[in-house]
């Protein structure tokens, strides 16, 4: 008998749909819901003759995931047939906001009502009075500007995350500095032979910098690819204040103080430049402003960075040397960089490191997208016309953010909702957005109250979330990733990896996918953008496939590796610039170590370090009362932000919101493992359950985010107990960087006090309620 | 020859896909497992070293996915393991694999009763 390892071979080469043991098996790629970033993991759904999903498995045919699945897709059946799911459009009266007085309606009534309201508010208050609030990760996430601008005809789209501190600062920064979207670490995802493909070179070093991509595959990076490469010999360096599992497998772990990344980056540049460890050829040919950068980073010798970051100077030097010597080396830099007011500068340092060591756009280095592999950015923007375009909130104050991401400035949206200045928001839509549940909104109670100034709102989701319960008059039910046809492009299409067919295999209630809902709304409200499509599939092919292939073709292929747009060293071949000339798509045609774009926006063109606004250094006077540095939002396998609490198999993995605290601190405070504590700072307070662990060093605590309790009372004022353990109550409003990007979600201060009460989840009650799946007849 | 599971715990990431894949394969209720991931750490060995191992351990309910393997499929945990660190096969083959690298553990689950 043969030894079986890895992900099985039984179904290799099977077509997209086949029969097995009386069940219909459909191969497809998953995106959302459940919430996820676009990896597009391969799945096989097994459906019986009654149309019921009986099983889900990983598809071993998928070139990247090869059959592997995380716990969120493995529990798909508990998700799609969950008793809390809402399966039909519903409405309620304005005075019933916050109450469970929903009434089922038809899709026609729902869409017609939206069209009526949109027409009414445009007519009476101008299109800019309509606000579209979006969430992250799910398929609707990147559709946010299009939902607003193309489908509703308002310029004002916004994710209610202070400083839009997730991914967007990285993408904007890299676009300004290099002319390409965020360069992902290369894991050969688009190469037919994967790690063994002759085009690929195994990285000698992988750096995870403020990123733990294993649990939730942030930005669509299949995090376990790093494990694949480590098992083939790649070394790992982790730059993270906290110990996570993968950092224990790193040869170097730099445990810097939260929010000090730019200082570390500058010091590493200092070492690499002063010790002449950089790639002269690449710097001479393809970089701009090297001398200025060299001059600037002289201000940050390792000794100084050591004082700021808390990482030993010798260790910083060693890390810089190791990174410079590794050929190739790759850096996956994450959310932690974005969640800081000068995250742009930290990002600039990391890009400079990648560039001057010659790791940009080389096999096994940083993967860069082909300029001809267009994205959907800007759909419907031109059709708004200059007058409405000028009314996107924050364009004058934060042009670097607003004009780049076509989003109203998040923090300004709250001020505007509260004051009615400079415009009045009257109507809003919430798509895939549970901002009140400790996910996005800083000062969520302020947002909650400000949302009450809106006259009419609609929400699109799978669940009646606390955000929708608190705000909406109309509910549109979203279908899960196995209930609709669509397209998933890994890493939001920014990297040449894969494109996958989301193949519908079951119908549950009347849910529709994000893309179809946008199409239906757009058709009614903005025929100028949607009238040319005869049906949803024509729209999908335009919007997600660039008209290059039909959905039917992709459906049968299931997953397509984008070999046609995958090549390396594109700065030599003209594939990074629309004019086809060699070089980078920046004003100087080079990687701008000195950024002419930053200069144009009136900010320092070179990287610099700035202390977090609240820290032992900035606010020593506050440290006696608030002695801890607070970081938030470490990822878990079982949840995607606020999603997953209704799935008993996921809930039992992490039933209660945790705060990690070092054993020494716990002893001092008299906190025992599993005890509930009150966590407070000058901005707010909440209760969390202590996890006493050495993942955090003394003086540092890490709090989980995104908790609400769907088993609790959903009506106002409870809203599923959304205020009880909401860590964003401690997040200040409008502590953003000069360009409008970045807020200190991961570098705050707080105090921790033990409390007597226990809020432990009753898992038996969770099981009793959520095991009662509602399977359609 | 008996079959077993070989797990490379040096690279087991603790993703718990094995736990949940097993629960779903067998229709176990929440709070009931065929395999559990033991969390051995983290604890500081010295200023530079953290010990942290995730060690999946089959329970009394593991039947090595008899139904699946009969049909030529892999056990569900092995199939879905995110780090691809689980192997299934006859123990003599697994022992040979074990010799190739350290930090692996072999389990040979069989029906028994815990009381
Ligand atoms: S990462 Fe996303 S698509 Fe992949 S298995 Fe998990 S939930 Fe499903
Ligand atoms: S072999 Fe099957 S029964 Fe045993 S732990 Fe794995 S999934 Fe569960
Ligand atoms: S599925 Fe694999 S990697 Fe995940 S916990 Fe189990 S053995 Fe470890």
Query: What does the pLDDT look like over A713-750, one tens digit per residue?
Result: 999 999 999 999 999 999 999 999 999 999 999 999 99
Residues A358 and A383 in one domain: no
Q: Return the number of other C-beta atoms located less than 10 Å from residue B66's C-beta.
A: 10
B114 touches chain A (CB under 8 A): no
Q: Does any domain span residue A42?
A: no
B70 touches chain A (CB under 8 A): no
pLDDT surpasses 70 at B73:
yes
Residues A426 and A391 in one domain: yes
Instruction: Say what the pLDDT of residue A777 is.
Output: 76
- Determine whether A312 is exposed, middle or buried from the number of CB atoms within 10 Å of its CB (0-12, 13-18, 19+): middle
Q: How confident is the model over A51-67, as a mean pLDDT?
A: 96
DSSP string, A98-151: TSS--EE--HHHHHHHHHHHHHHHHHHH-GGGEEEEE-SSSTTSTTHHHIIIII
* CB-CB under 8 Å, A651 with B42: no
Of A116, A307, A334, the C-alpha closest to A246 is A334
Question: Which tokens go with A548?
Answer: 């290059």
Residues A337 and A358 in one domain: yes
Instruction: Say what the pLDDT of residue A1 is.
Output: 42
Q: Does any domain span residue A484?
A: no
Mean pLDDT of chain A: 96
Question: Which tokens go with A752?
Answer: 């921790």
Taking CA atoms only, the protein residue closest to ligand 2 atom 2 is B65
Q: Report how far ligand 2's centroid is from the alpha carbon of B67 (Å).
A: 11
Residues A698 and A719 in one domain: yes
pLDDT surpasses 80 at A70:
yes
- With b meaning 16 or more CB within 10 Å and e meaning fewer, what string describes A421-448? eebbbbbbbbbbbbbbbbbbbbbbebbb
Q: Is A476 in the pocket of ligand 1 (CB under 6 A)?
A: no
Q: Does any domain span residue A202?
A: yes
If you measure CA to CA, which chain B residue comes closest to A65? B82
Of A431, A273, A448, A296, the C-alpha closest to A355 is A273
In the three-class reduction of DSSP (H, G, I as helix; E, B as strand; rest coil), residue A606 is classed as coil
Domain that holds residue B80: 3-107
**Nearest by CB: A6 against B43, B44, B84:** B84
Instruction: Say what the pLDDT of residue A3 is.
Output: 52
* CB-CB under 8 Å, B10 with A243: no
B13 touches chain A (CB under 8 A): yes
**Nearest by CB: A3 against B48, B84, B93:** B93
If you measure CA to CA, which chain B residue comes closest to A4? B88
Residues A645 and A731 in one domain: yes
Q: Report how far ligand 3's centroid is from the alpha carbon of A122 (Å).
A: 53
Instruction: Say what the pLDDT of residue A6 is.
Output: 56
We report the CATH number of the domain holding residue A136 as 3.40.50.740
* CB-CB under 8 Å, A247 with B50: yes
* CB-CB under 8 Å, A214 with B82: yes
Q: Is A70 in the pocket of ligand 1 (CB under 6 A)?
A: yes
pLDDT surpasses 70 at A4:
no
CA distance A693 to A124: 57
Q: Which residues contact B65 (CB under 8 A, 6 or more apart)?
A: B25, B73, B74, B75, B76, B77
B72 touches chain A (CB under 8 A): yes
If you measure CA to CA, which chain B residue comes closest to A769? B30
In which residue are the tokens 């009986």 written? A54
B78 touches chain A (CB under 8 A): yes
Listed by number, the residues of chain B in 30-59 with a beta carbon closer than 8 Å to a beta carbon of chain A are 30-31, 41-44, 48, 50-52, 54
**pLDDT tens digit string along A432-447?**
999 999 999 999 999 9
Single residue among A600, A629, A659 that ends a domain in this structure: A600
Q: Report how far ligand 2's centroid is from the alpha carbon of A639 (Å).
A: 23
Instruction: Say what the pLDDT of residue A7 is.
Output: 66
Residues A394 and A274 in one domain: no
A and B: number of Cβ contacts within 8 A: 141
- Of B6, B16, B82, the one to substitute when testing ligand 3's pocket (max ligand atoms within 8 A of C-beta) is B82
pLDDT surpasses 60 at B95:
yes
CA distance A8 to chain B (A): 6
The kind and range of the H/E element at A773 are: none
Q: Which residues contact A369 (CB under 8 A, 6 or more apart)?
A: A180, A181, A493, A494, A495, A496, A565
Q: From residue A18, how far is each of A21, A32, A397, A553 by CA, in Å?
A: 10, 23, 56, 17
Share of chain A above pLDDT 90, in %: 95
Residues A105 and A241 in one domain: no
* CB-CB under 8 Å, A638 with B1: no
Q: Report how far ligand 2's centroid is from the alpha carbon of A10 (Å).
A: 17
Q: Report how far ligand 3's centroid is from the alpha carbon of B5 (Å).
A: 12
Residues contacting ligand 3 via CB (< 6 Å): B 7, 12-18, 37, 54, 56, 81-83, 85-86
* CB-CB under 8 Å, A57 with B76: yes
CA distance A274 to A256: 22
Residues A528 and A594 in one domain: no
Share of chain B above pLDDT 70, in %: 98
pLDDT surpasses 60 at B72:
yes
pLDDT surpasses 80 at A457:
yes
We report the CATH number of the domain holding residue B17 as 3.30.70.20
If you measure CA to CA, which chain B residue comes closest to A247? B50
Q: Does any domain span residue A170?
A: no
Three-class DSSP labels, A644-694? CCCCHHHHCCCCCCEEEECHHHHHHHCCCCCCEEEEEECCEEEEEEEEECC
**Beta strand spans in A381-483 (E):** 427-431, 456-461, 474-477
Q: Does any domain span residue B115?
A: no
B88 touches chain A (CB under 8 A): yes
Residues A137 and A195 in one domain: no
**pLDDT tens digit string along A626-680?**
999 999 999 999 999 999 999 999 999 999 999 999 999 999 999 999 999 999 9
> Are A441 and A53 within 8 A, CB to CB?
no
Judged by its nearest atom, the ligand closest to the C-alpha of residue A500 is: 1
What residues are paired with A627 via a beta bridge?
A: none
We report the CATH number of the domain holding residue A235 as 3.40.228.10
CA distance A281 to A656: 53
* CB-CB under 8 Å, A243 with B89: no
Number of domains in chain B: 1
* CB-CB under 8 Å, B90 with A55: no
**Nearest by CB: A74 against B20, B74, B90:** B20
Chain B positions touching A253 (Cβ under 8 A) are: 48, 50
pLDDT surpasses 90 at A509:
yes
Three-class DSSP labels, A481-516? CCCCCEEEEHHHHCCCCEEEEECCCCCCCCCECHHH
Residues A419 and A318 in one domain: no
Q: What is the pTM of this model?
A: 0.97
**pLDDT tens digit string along A617-635?**
999 999 999 999 999 999 9
Chain A positions touching B88 (Cβ under 8 A) are: 3-5
Residues A362 and A407 in one domain: no
Q: Which is the closest atom of ligand 1 to the Cα of A73?
A: 8
We report the CATH number of the domain holding residue A646 as 2.40.40.20
In which residue are the tokens 């003599």 written? B92
Instruction: Say what the pLDDT of residue A375 is.
Output: 61
Listed by number, the residues of chain B in 14-33 with a beta carbon closer than 8 Å to a beta carbon of chain A are 14-17, 19-21, 23-24, 29-31
Q: Does any domain span residue B54?
A: yes
CA distance A635 to chain B (A): 12
- Of B6, B14, B55, the one to substitute when testing ligand 3's pocket (max ligand atoms within 8 A of C-beta) is B14
Q: How confident is the model over A36-57, as a mean pLDDT?
A: 97
CA distance A140 to A142: 6
If you measure CA to CA, which chain A residue comes closest to B32? A649
* CB-CB under 8 Å, A771 with B54: no
CA distance B112 to chain A (A): 25
pLDDT surpasses 80 at A374:
no
Q: Return the number of other C-beta atoms located less than 10 Å from residue A105's C-beta.
A: 16
Predicted confidence band of residue A376 (pLDDT cuts 50, 70, 90): low
DSSP helix, strand, coil percent of chain B (3-state; round to 5)? 25, 30, 40
Q: Does any domain span residue A679?
A: yes
Judged by its nearest atom, the ligand closest to the C-alpha of residue B21 is: 2
Lowest-confidence range among A75-79, A547-551, A570-574? A547-551
Q: Return the number of other C-beta atoms located less than 10 Å from residue A377's C-beta.
A: 14
Q: Report how far ligand 3's centroid is from the alpha carbon of A38 (Å).
A: 22
**pLDDT tens digit string along A170-215?**
889 999 999 998 899 999 999 999 999 999 999 999 999 999 999 9
Residues A457 and A521 in one domain: yes
Q: Return the number of other C-beta atoms located less than 10 Å from residue A125's C-beta.
A: 16
Predicted confidence band of residue A493 (pLDDT cuts 50, 70, 90): confident
**Nearest by CB: B29 against A6, A55, A771:** A771
Q: Which of A71, A226, A766, A775 should one mutate to test binding to chain B, selecting the residue with the greatest count of B CBs within 10 A? A: A71
If you measure CA to CA, which chain A residue comes closest to B79? A7
pLDDT surpasses 90 at A372:
no
Q: Does any domain span residue A82?
A: no
Q: Report how far ligand 1's centroid is from the alpha carbon of A42 (Å).
A: 9
Q: Does any domain span residue A486?
A: no
Q: Does any domain span residue A246?
A: yes
Domain that holds residue A635: 620-770
Number of domains in chain A: 3
Q: Does any domain span residue B29?
A: yes
Share of chain A above pLDDT 70, in %: 99
pLDDT surpasses 70 at A524:
yes
Long-range contacts of A381-386 (CB under 8 A, 24+ apart): A381/A145, A381/A149, A381/A150, A381/A406, A383/A149, A383/A150, A383/A526, A383/A528, A383/A529, A384/A127, A384/A149, A384/A153, A384/A155
Sign of CA dihedral A655, A661, A662, A663: negative
**Nearest by CB: A243 against B29, B50, B76:** B50
CA distance B76 to A274: 53
Chain A positions touching B20 (Cβ under 8 A) are: 71, 74-75, 649-650
CA distance A142 to A486: 14
Chain B positions touching A62 (Cβ under 8 A) are: none
């Amino acid at each position: 008998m043969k030894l079986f390892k890895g992900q099985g071979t039984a179904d290799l080469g099977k077509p997209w749909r086949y029969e097995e043991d009386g069940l219909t098996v459909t191969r497809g790629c998953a995106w959302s819901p459940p919430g996820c970033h676009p990896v597009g993991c391969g799945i096989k759904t097994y459906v019986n003759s009654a149309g019921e999903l009986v099983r889900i498995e990983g598809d071993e045919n998928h070139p990247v995931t090869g059959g592997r699945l995380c716990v969120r897709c493995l529990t798909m059946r508990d998700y799609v047939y969950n008793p809390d799911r809402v399966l039909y459009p519903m409405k309620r009266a304005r005075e019933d906001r916050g109450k469970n007085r929903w009434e089922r309606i038809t899709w026609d009534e729902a869409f017609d009502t939206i069209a009526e309201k949109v027409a009414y508010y445009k007519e009476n208050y101008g299109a800019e009075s309509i606000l579209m609030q979006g969430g992250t990760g799910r398929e609707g996430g990147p559709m946010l500007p299009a939902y607003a601008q193309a489908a509703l005809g308002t310029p004002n789209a916004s994710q209610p995350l202070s400083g839009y501190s997730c991914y967007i600062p990285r993408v904007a920064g890299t676009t300004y500095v290099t002319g390409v979207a965020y360069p992902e670490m290369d894991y050969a995802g688009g190469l037919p032979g994967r790690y063994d493909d002759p085009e690929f070179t195994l990285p000698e070093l992988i750096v995870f910098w403020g990123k733990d991509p294993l649990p939730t595959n942030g930005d669509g990076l299949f995090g376990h690819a790093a494990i694949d490469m480590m098992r083939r010999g790649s070394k790992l360096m982790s730059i993270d204040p906290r110990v996570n599992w993968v950092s224990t497998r790193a040869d170097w772990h730099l445990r810097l103080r939260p929010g000090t990344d730019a200082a570390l980056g500058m010091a590493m540049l200092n070492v690499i430049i002063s010790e002449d460890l950089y790639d002269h050829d690449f710097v001479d040919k393809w970089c701009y402003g090297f001398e200025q950068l060299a001059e600037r980073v002289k201000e940050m010798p390792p000794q100084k960075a050591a004082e700021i970051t808390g990482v030993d100077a010798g260790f910083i030097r060693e890390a810089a040397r190791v990174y410079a010597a590794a050929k190739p080396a790759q850096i996956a830099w994450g959310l932690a960089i974005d969640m800081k007011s000068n995250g742009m500068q930290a990002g600039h340092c990391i890009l400079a490191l990648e560039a001057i060591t010659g790791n940009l756009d080389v096999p096994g280095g940083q993967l860069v997208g082909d300029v001809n592999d267009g994205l959907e950015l800007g759909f419907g923007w031109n059709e708004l016309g200059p007058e409405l375009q000028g009314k996107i909130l924050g364009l004058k104050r934060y042009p670097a953010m607003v004009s780049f991401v076509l989003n109203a400035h998040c923090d300004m949206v709250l001020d505007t909702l509260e004051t009615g200045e400079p415009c009045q928001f009257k109507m809003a839509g919430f798509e895939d957005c549970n901002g009140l549940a400790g996910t996005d909104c800083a000062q969520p109670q302020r947002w909650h109250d400000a949302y009450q100034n809106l006259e009419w709102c609609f929400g699109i989701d799978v669940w009646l979330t606390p955000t929708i319960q608190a705000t909406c008059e109309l509910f549109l039910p979203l279908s899960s990733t196995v209930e609709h046809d669509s397209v998933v492009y890994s890493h939001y299409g920014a990297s040449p990896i894969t494109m996958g067919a989301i193949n519908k295999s079951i119908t549950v209630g009347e849910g529709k996918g994000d893309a179809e809902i946008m199409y239906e709304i757009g058709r009614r409200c903005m025929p100028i953008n949607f009238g040319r499509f005869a049906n949803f599939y024509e729209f999908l092919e335009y919007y997600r496939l660039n008209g290059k292939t039909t959905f039917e073709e992709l459906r049968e292929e299931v997953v397509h590796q984008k070999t046609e747009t995958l090549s390396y060293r594109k700065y030599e071949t003209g594939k990074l610039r629309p004019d086809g000339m060699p070089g980078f798509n920046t004003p100087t045609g080079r990687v701008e170590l000195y950024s002419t774009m930053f200069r144009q926006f009136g900010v320092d063109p070179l990287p610099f370090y700035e202390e977090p606004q609240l820290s032992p250094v900035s606010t020593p006077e506050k440290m006696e009362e608030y002695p801890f540095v607070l970081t938030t939002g470490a990822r878990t396998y079982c949840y995607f932000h606020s999603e997953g609490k209704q799935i008993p198999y996921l809930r039992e993995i992490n039933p209660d919101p945790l705060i990690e605290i070092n054993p020494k601190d716990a002893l001092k405070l008299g906190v025992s493992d599993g005890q509930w504590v009150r966590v407070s700072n000058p901005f707010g307070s909440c209760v969390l359950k202590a996890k006493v662990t050495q993942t955090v060093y003394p003086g540092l605590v890490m709090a989980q985010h995104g908790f609400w309790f769907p088993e609790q009372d959903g009506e106002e004022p409870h809203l599923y107990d959304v205020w009880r353990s909401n860590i964003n109550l401690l997040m200040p409003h409008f502590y953003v960087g000069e360009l409008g990007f970045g807020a200190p979600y991961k570098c705050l201060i707080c105090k921790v006090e033990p409390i007597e009460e226990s809020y432990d989840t009753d898992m038996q009650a969770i099981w009793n309620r959520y095991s009662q799946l509602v399977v359609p007849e | 020859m008996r079959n077993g599971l070989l797990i490379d715990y040096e690279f087991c990431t603790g993703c718990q896909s094995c736990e949940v894949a097993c629960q779903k394969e067998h229709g176990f209720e929440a709070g009931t497992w065929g395999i559990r991931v033991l969390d051995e750490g983290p604890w500081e060995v010295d200023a530079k070293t953290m010990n942290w191992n995730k060690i999946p351990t089959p329970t009394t309910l593991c039947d090595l996915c008899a139904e699946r393997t009969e049909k030529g499929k892999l056990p569900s945990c092995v199939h879905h393991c995110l780090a691809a660190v689980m192997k299934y096969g006859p123990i003599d083959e697994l022992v040979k694999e074990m010799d190739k690298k350290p930090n692996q553990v072999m389990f040979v689950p069989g029906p028994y009763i815990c009381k």
